[in-house]
Amino acid sequence: MAKHALLSNVEHKGLRIITTRAAAYGDNQMFALAVPAEFRNISGCYPIVFQKRSDSGEFQPLALFGFQPGENLFLTDAGWDATYIPFSVERLPFLIGGGTPAEPGQPARPVVHIDLDSPRVSWTEGEPLFLEYGGSTPYLERVSGLLGALHAGIAATQPFVEALLSHDLLESFVLDVQLKDGSNRRLAGFHTVNEERMRKLDGAVVARLHEQGFLEAAYMVVASTVHFRDLIERSNRRV
């Protein structure tokens, strides 16, 4: 169970974070949240898909790491075998939480929280968070930047998804794969961008999507589908 706490340079001065990538630290996940600002980097390594949330009905973009729950085909004995790790993974065990409003009646300012129950949290090994005589370490500064980018990216995601839906660009798909040992994998319950419908958009729509910053992100989703082949190859190496 998660135990979230506001990060404090007094209470947590000696805390360290284990940055090794392994199943023991929770990296054996089939997918992770992705935001449009990082689609270019994600599309160079993983398929980007969309999944409808059961609680809100909203679509959220995901970086796909495997074909079944608990499977991350990029995890090896040497760590994470990819050149890019999504914000939502790399920032762990930290998250954005609400702080004290700057003024009464104002929204709470986003501040850094930490999951103290995470297996990454240690008092003896890993990256330190605070300098000996105060201040944040370069590692914590990087994490803060990741959290800020993720926070802004999540806020920008829904307008992007709504634009895709308004032009009927999202479609569900099913991927059936037979591996070399004869076993089967089925990927279902996800959506992708329909490339044919993208090509048929009229010029005014294309221009508007470009002005909104959504056109490139949509094409990054389309480009990322080539990595389904990589997932299949990685699966075949494990059977």
CB atoms within 10 A of CB 197: 14
User: pLDDT category, 236, cuts 50, 70, 90?
Assistant: very high
pLDDT, position 171: 97
d(CA 230, CA 88) in angstroms, rounded, equals: 22
Contacts 24+ apart (CB under 8 A), 10-14: 12/114, 12/129, 12/130, 13/129, 13/130, 14/123, 14/128
Which of 11-15, 17-21, 235-239 is predicted most confidently? 17-21
Side chain identity at residue 21, one-letter code = R
Task: Say if residue 174's pLDDT is above 60.
Answer: yes
What tokens appear for 144 in the block?
């803060």
d(CA 63, CA 129) in angstroms, rounded, equals: 28
pLDDT, position 87: 97
Helix (H, G, I), strand (E, B) or coil at 62: strand
DSSP 3-state helix, strand, coil percentages of the chain (rounded to 5)? 35, 25, 40
Share the mean pLDDT of the chain: 93
Instruction: Read off the pLDDT of each residue in 198-221 and give the average, rounded to a whole number.
Output: 95
Helix (H, G, I), strand (E, B) or coil at 178: strand
Closest CA to 224 of 82, 59, 75: 82
Residue 52: which domain range?
Answer: 4-238
60: left (phi over 0), alpha (psi -120 to 50) or beta: beta
Pairing of strands 79-80, 127-128: unpaired
Task: Say if residue 100's pLDDT is above 60.
Answer: no
Instruction: Read off the pLDDT of each residue in 168-187 and give the average, rounded to a whole number.
Output: 95
Rounded to two decimals, what is the model's pTM?
0.92
Task: Say if residue 1's pLDDT is above 80.
Answer: no
DSSP structure class, residue 227: G
**Cross-strand partners of 178:** 184
Instruction: Read off the pLDDT of each residue in 154-165 and give the average, rounded to a whole number.
Output: 96
Closest CA to 47 of 35, 31, 29, 36: 31
Instruction: Give how many domains the chain has, as a whole number.
Output: 1
What are phi and psi for residue 82, nearest 5 degrees? -160, 155
pLDDT, position 6: 94
